[in-house]
């Protein structure tokens, strides 16, 4: 699977708080049918990305299961993150078995590391950022500027999975 960058049309990103789902990110845009890309590690860690069939753009990102996570008592450090304001366009869909799947919950955000490859490029969509490798594979996904209620929801749902 490859991802490509496309001009950002000002799409808004928001967090939905749902029972049994630690993280659900909705990328607002035009309504269309979707297909799914998933990242997993074994049977206890699963991240699902819904992608528009016609636009091939991200519609939702859901962290459904997470075995390895860390609660960090500090703010995310992304001020120096050089990110391009853009949208991702997916070419080809598949399920990826990750060799690493770690979620870090900060005081003001969340980061999901889904590859041992280093992030060399970052794209930004509102408060969502996505790290990409040199070959444009997704390496990490994060969201910042979360409030205390949103962080508490994520922590609670992750704890309930243990």
Question: Whole-angstrom Cα distance, residue 4 to residue 116?
Answer: 20
Reported as a single tens digit per residue, the pLDDT across 4-26 is 445 445 568 899 999 999 999 99
Q: pLDDT digit string (tens) for 111-125?
A: 999 999 998 888 888
Domain ranges, ordered by start, for the chain: 2-160
Q: Residues 53-67: what's their mean pLDDT?
A: 90
Torsion sign across C-alpha atoms 65, 89, 1, 122: negative
Q: Identify whether the C-beta of residue 92 lies closer than 8 Å to the C-beta of residue 51.
A: no
> Cβ(142)–Cβ(128) under 8 Å?
yes
């Amino acid at each position: 699977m490859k991802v490509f960058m496309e001009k950002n049309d000002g799409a808004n990103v928001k967090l939905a708080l749902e029972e049994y789902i630690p993280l659900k990110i909705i990328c607002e845009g035009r309504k269309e049918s979707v297909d799914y890309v998933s990242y997993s590690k074994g049977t206890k860690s699963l991240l699902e990305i819904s992608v528009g069939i016609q636009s091939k753009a991200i519609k939702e990102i859901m962290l459904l299961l997470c075995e390895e996570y860390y609660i960090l008592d500090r703010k995310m450090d992304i001020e120096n993150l050089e990110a391009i304001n853009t949208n991702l366009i997916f070419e080809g869909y598949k399920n990826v078995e990750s060799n690493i799947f770690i979620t870090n919950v900060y005081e003001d955000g969340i980061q999901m590391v889904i590859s041992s490859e280093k992030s060399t490029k970052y794209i930004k969509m509102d408060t969502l950022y996505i790290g990409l490798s040199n070959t444009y594979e997704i390496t990490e996904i994060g969201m910042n500027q979360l409030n205390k209620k949103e962080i508490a929801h994520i922590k609670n749902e992750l704890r309930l999975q243990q």
